[in-house]
Structure 1
Amino acid sequence: MTTSTQAAMNARLVRYADLIPCRTAFLDTKTPGSTEKENFTIIGAGVSESADQHVHITEKHGFNIGAARQPFGCINSQHSHDTAEVFMIHSGRWRLLFGANKEDGALEIGPGDVASVPIHMFRGFEKIDDGVGFLFTILGEDDPGKVTWAPAVFEAAADHGLKLAKGGRLIDTSQGDYALKDVELEDVLDADSVAGLKTPPIEKILECVVPYGSAKANAKSPLAAEGVEEAGIIVPQATGDGFAAGPIKGWWPHGCNLRQLTLQTGAYVPHHARAEAEVLIVQEGTFEVSWADGAIVMGAGDMLTVPIGLPRAFRNTASVPAVVFVVRGTESPAMPVFG
């Protein structure tokens, strides 16, 4: 049986207050409107282009988890991904913008909403209400590749001395072009390549959005009990632990499931082990995770990755519901083993 010390589990915990941001993560970092965004790489190497990016947990999970924190009006520029990109809104209201030049429509999402944006299409996002907002992202696979930027992003970045080397390494030439010596620069997409990254009809994109509170609890979930509900959010196919496909299935690989686990006051899930990676992200409330040798109490915005095979139990010790997003590895997670 897998065991773990308190110290080892503490090392797998990333509290919201302890997140280490990078302000120079991407090509648009100096572009007006984008200068105030903070990027976080929490699990896995992510897609940051900066050597200054801190990675909190390097262990491979089969997916990456990152985050962004932005004030009102701050923009993350138009880009495309080769693997899944999922947005989980923790706070604030956001607008997703589609098309190489934001010409293909938009979608507004807020706290608790989930949107999985199809691969091979341009998207950007901006914070649209007052104050600072925060969102988590899931990126597919251990190596999610690199960001593909819209041509206009290269043009704007060049005006501020930023260039991108082959392979996705950011170079700041503001102190002189000597920084480009012996460097092969990333190609800017031509018109045909841009046209190939076509935005699907908006009704197709809406199939990949789950507003907060709309996901239906699965009575067949092995975790279901009095005061405990588990709802599927991203379930690409029918799973070994009793979930039918949907509501987000996608027509591209996700490599994981996303579930919403809700515990009412005093609700308890007994010890059980999983055969897949499992990451717990607290959306709201207080959530206790315990195992044979210890326990961790988590609050909103905290994240814990639980070792494969470690028996873990869950409890809500507070007077308000605990809502937790669960990222579970593989597209068909197996039944947990209780006891």
Structure 2
Amino acid sequence: MQSRQVSPEEMRKRVAVFSELQASAMPLIDAARPEFQRELLSIIGQGVAEDGAIVPPITDVEGFHLSIVRVDAGKGSALHKHRTVEVFMPLNGRFSVQWGDHGEHEIFLDQYDVISLPVGVLRGFRNESPGQALLLVIIGGDDPGNVEWIDEVMDAARRKGFGLDERGKITTRSVSEGG
């Protein structure tokens, strides 16, 4: 049986060097609020990122998107959902994962623990460590679609002058433009 042959040039397009990754400081619109500020390092595909400037080093998506989120102590992600499974694994530190319509459920993950969040479930996370920590994120599917935010997140973003365009990417807008 013959295996698929890949040239060295093709394989180089499938390598992401951590020290060369470009971080997005506002990967998703919830980062308009200080408690949700974090950096996203997209590695394979863009996932559900709303920063239209993100260009991951590996663009050939085959069934999943992979990124690392760099999160300062006490910060994380607001409640959101999307149409794909999302997997979280702390690479260091400790994270809490909240889920439910009001984030009423919570579980704690330590280094290398893994949680797989089902499609359509509202979820968020927070770095519970005393310092900065890294969270590996895997999002299923070739096209993960867009994030669906709770109203509170979108209202806060609009008050700060941000919105989403028709593609689901972050735009700046005049605060007087409204919704």
Name the TM-score, length of structure 2 as normaliser: 0.89
Give the corresponding residue for 1:14. 16
Match runs of 1:1-339 below 5 Å: 1=3, 2-5=5-8, 7-35=9-37, 37-102=38-103, 104-174=104-174, 177=177
Q: Secondary structure at the match of 1:79?
A: strand
What is the SS of the residue equivalent to 1:83?
coil
2:35 alignment partner, SS class: coil
* Bigger relative contact order, structure 1 or 2 (CA pairs below 8 A, ≥6 apart): 2
CA distance in structure 1 between the partners assigned to 2:149 and 2:175 by the alignment = 24
Over aligned residues, Cα RMSD in angstroms? 1.9
- TM-superposition CA deviations, 1:193-242 (whole Å, max 9, x none): xxxxxxxxxxxxxxxxxxxxxxxxxxxxxxxxxxxxxxxxxxxxxxxxxx
Unaligned stretches of 5+ in structure 2?
none
* Inter-partner Cα distance in structure 2 for 1:19 and 1:113: 24
**Per-residue CA shift, 1:278-326, capped at 9, x if unaligned?**
xxxxxxxxxxxxxxxxxxxxxxxxxxxxxxxxxxxxxxxxxxxxxxxxx
SS in 2 for 1:14: coil
Q: Output the CA distance in 2 between the equivalents of 1:101 and 1:167.
A: 27
Find the residue that maps to 2:11 and give its secondary structure.
helix
The one-letter code matched in structure 2 to 1:130 is: P
Aligned residues: 176
Q: Give, in angstroms, the shift of residue 173 of structure 1.
A: 1.5
Per the TM alignment, residue 160 of structure 1 is displaced from its structure 2 partner at its CA by: 0.9
Amino acid at match of 1:132: Q
Whole-angstrom distance in 2 between the partners of 1:99 and 1:153: 16
Q: Provide the C-alpha distance between the structure 2 equivalents of 1:142 and 1:171, rounded to a whole number of angstroms.
A: 24
Task: Report the Cα offset of residue 59 of structure 1.
Answer: 0.7
Larger % of helix: which? Answer: 2
TM-score normalised by the chain length of structure 1: 0.49
CA distance in 2 between counterparts of 1:31 and 1:56 reads 28
Matches of 2:76 and 2:66, distance apart in 1: 20
* Cα displacement string for residues 227-267 of structure 1 (whole angstroms, at most 9, x for unaligned residues): xxxxxxxxxxxxxxxxxxxxxxxxxxxxxxxxxxxxxxxxx
Label 1:31 to 1:174 Cα distance change in 2 as closer, same or farther (>3 A).
farther
CA distance in 2, matches of 1:92, 1:54: 27
In 2, Cα distance between equivalents of 1:175 and 1:122:
27
The CA distance in 2 between the partners of 1:174 and 1:69, in whole Å, is 29
Structure 1 gap segments, 5+ residues each = 186-339
Amino acid at match of 2:78: S
